[in-house]
């Protein structure tokens, strides 16, 4: 029985932050569905583990990349062009929450800047490089999917840097979607709430709520996020999921605060 997957052997994707969490899950889902996937991220060993987990099929290229560095990002996408000749999908996923439990008034400039550089500037640099490749290739076009967050809609306490950058990702998504029309470049955003990854392990011990209490929050299988990204990626370029929200059903987001 078919599971709805479409063979897309000729299609090429770049996944940033592919060494863990959502990035790893999405990379594995795409690889299993027949995509050629370039694994990008800061930690080479973690990327290699993702490649090993993929099992059979052509090996996934591992490209250690710091998305905050313009030269490193340019090298990543130049390598994609040289190896594959084109790019069909960028899953713009690399990100950082920053220091936890630090009040807005106490947040160091260096910590603010680190989150902005990774979550916003890094996402822009990767999107810009992918945009150029997709614009100039033949046939023209491709898709960019940005990883937003529930925080793009409603913040958690003491999360000013993360929340500000995720709101900014929404602006990046809209601008890319508009500016990409003439080049058949589609851009959408997935906002994720409480996927079970290393980042959300603390949910089981309780996390601060808007009313000052600490509460355990439910999580969902990260594989459900990966399947959603795969669906978004599999659409023809004439169709686009502009915004998708995938969340643990009972998490305190609707009605937060």
Q: Any idea which residues carry the catalytic annotation?
A: 162
What string of H, E and C letters represents the secondary structure of the chain?
CCCCCCCCCCCEEEEECCCCHHHHHHHHHHHHCCCEEEEEECCHHHHHHHHHHCCCCCCCCEEECCCCCHHHHHHHHHHHHHHHCCCCEEEECCCCCCCCCCCHHHCCHHHHHHHHHHHHHHHHHHHHHHHHHHHHCCCCCEEEEEECCHHHCCCCCCCHHHHHHHHHHHHHHHHHHHHCHHHCEEEEEEEEECECCHHHHHHHHCEECCCCCEECCCCECHHHHHHHHHHHHHCCCCCCCCEEEEECCCCCCCCCC
């Amino acid at each position: 029985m078919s599971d709805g997957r479409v063979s897309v052997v000729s299609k090429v994707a770049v996944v940033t932050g592919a060494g863990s969490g959502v990035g790893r899950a999405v990379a594995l889902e795409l690889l299993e569905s027949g995509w050629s996937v370039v694994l990008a991220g800061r930690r080479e060993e973690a990327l290699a583990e993702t490649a090993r987990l993929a099992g059979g099929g052509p090996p996934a290229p591992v490209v250690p990349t710091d998305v905050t560095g313009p030269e490193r990002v340019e090298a990543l996408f130049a390598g994609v062009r040289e190896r594959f000749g084109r790019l069909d999908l960028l899953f713009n996923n690399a990100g950082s929450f920053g220091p936890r439990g630090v009040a807005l008034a106490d947040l160091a400039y260096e910590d603010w800047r680190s989150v902005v550089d990774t979550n916003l500037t890094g996402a822009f640099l990767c999107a810009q490089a992918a945009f150029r490749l997709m614009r100039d290739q033949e046939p023209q076009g491709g898709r960019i999917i940005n990883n937003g967050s529930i925080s793009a809609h409603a913040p958690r306490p003491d999360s000013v840097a993360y929340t500000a950058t995720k709101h900014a990702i929404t602006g990046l998504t809209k601008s890319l979607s508009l500016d990409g029309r003439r080049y058949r470049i589609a851009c959408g955003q997935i906002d994720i709430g409480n996927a079970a990854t290393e980042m959300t392990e603390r949910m089981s011990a309780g996390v601060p709520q808007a009313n000052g209490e600490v509460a355990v929050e439910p999580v969902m299988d990260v594989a459900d996020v990966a399947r959603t990204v795969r669906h978004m990626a599999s659409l023809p370029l004439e169709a686009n999921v502009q915004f998708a929200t995938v969340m643990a059903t009972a998490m305190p987001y609707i009605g937060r605060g």
